[in-house]
Structure 1
């Protein structure tokens, strides 16, 4: 079942995959973010209660969802590395970590900016906000633990354990508004049968969600590609890659 995945344990194959996928992810990210952001911020109708202040939803909700999605992807990569001992899986884990941390910070920052006019405070120790803050600390912990080891294979194993254990926080974030009495509003777009948002507001939000996902994917692919080159500088295929790049640069 997983045989298709095994070739990408080789850094050279993983690099080639990154090179192939990156233009697609980048194109989807640019197009979707332009359409979704302009549609949401300019053309979507104002909310009947919150007015134009609700428009921060087009940044806050996608970044919050991708903060959790990136962590799950990072934890899966860590688990693959621990189970099959793939160096490329650990490289993927650490490539995703800073991107997910930035998404988490954006979610927290935009949530505070939205909460000020709605709740009258920049920050409250709400279950959703607190668990999202813990997610940021988990990202930072994974990166710090990885950087603490000179042996990057051991670094990947140590940080991978933390990433896998920390994934328990993701369902806590998602279900916090149902498990506890919080100020944070409940599900909006995950109720596919009857979303709690008008279609003319929902569609730009979904497009921006796609754009954020593609953006996270594109940046993670770029980081993974760079990580592979840095870790494999002694390999002949990297030397050939650098020589070919230099030759193209001289021709241009």
Structure 2
């Protein structure tokens, strides 16, 4: 049997599908996140290099930092798709992704600040790795603010999409600052990426937690997309029928 996936580009068709997918992603999010955190807290060494118990914050910090970057790319993807094909659902996805991405970016900065205070004795340092992550948060907030400031949804979608595309340049800068081959070029308190040298148990815990965060983001983005659909389609007949069934 052939499934016509193009029909789900319609908000009316996608709305019930999203409702069925949300519980699946949410269950996976709970299982994977709790499993990853349990593994990280109880199945990993007590000491990592010269650090003590506070190193375990990496299981949340790394997952949220990766989500912050990846979700921005996802947001730009949907925004560009909307600009090219003028698809309403693509813009709705972009709007929903922006909020989740901003939350993940804020979480990465918050956990990083706790790490910094405990490990380096400072909550913040204006180095490339921290500053670019803060700029990413401002870009998310700018996207949300610009979209909210324009009353017409179509104009708001296009304007915020252009802003998102311009801001995409920050993502490779963040990646390069953490994976810079020359430590002197990106000197900072923030340690360089060491995933290829990390202990196996710690790696398993990190990747499991990252997978859980991905599932959570999928679930929340779908929930927000459904809310946006109802808001924008509130005058349509199918929403009226949906309300009548409640």
TM-score interval (norm. to shorter): over 0.9
1:68-119 C-alpha deviation (Å, 9 max, x unpaired) = 1111110101000101111111111111111110100000010011011222
TM-score by length of 2: 0.92
Q: How far apart are 1:197 and its partner, in Å?
A: 0.9
* CA RMSD after TM alignment: 1.5
Q: Distance in 2 between matches of 1:115 and 1:65?
A: 18
Find the aligned partners of 1:30 and 1:111 in 2 and give their Cα distance. 23
Asked whether the 8 Å contact 1:8–1:88 carries over to 2, the reply is no
1:217-241 CA deviation, whole Å, 9 max, x = no partner? Answer: 1111000011101111111111222
Residue 156 of structure 1 is matched in structure 2 by 157
Unpaired segments of 5 or more residues in structure 2?
none
Give the SS at the match of 1:180. Answer: coil
Q: Identify the residue that residue 43 of structure 1 maps to in structure 2.
A: 43
**Superposition pairs for residues 132-143 of structure 1, below 5 Å?**
132-143=133-144
- TM-score normalised to the size of structure 1? 0.90
Match of residue 119 from structure 1 = 120
Counterpart in the other structure of 1:128: 129
Give 1:8's aligned residue.
8
Q: What's the CA shift for 1:127?
A: 0.5
Partner of 2:70: 69
SS in 1 for 2:197: coil
Q: Secondary structure at the match of 1:186?
A: coil
1:28 aligns with 2:22: no
Instruction: Measure how far apart 1:5 and its partner are.
Output: 5.9
Secondary structure of the 2:89 match is helix
Mapped partners of 1:226, 1:196: distance in 2: 43
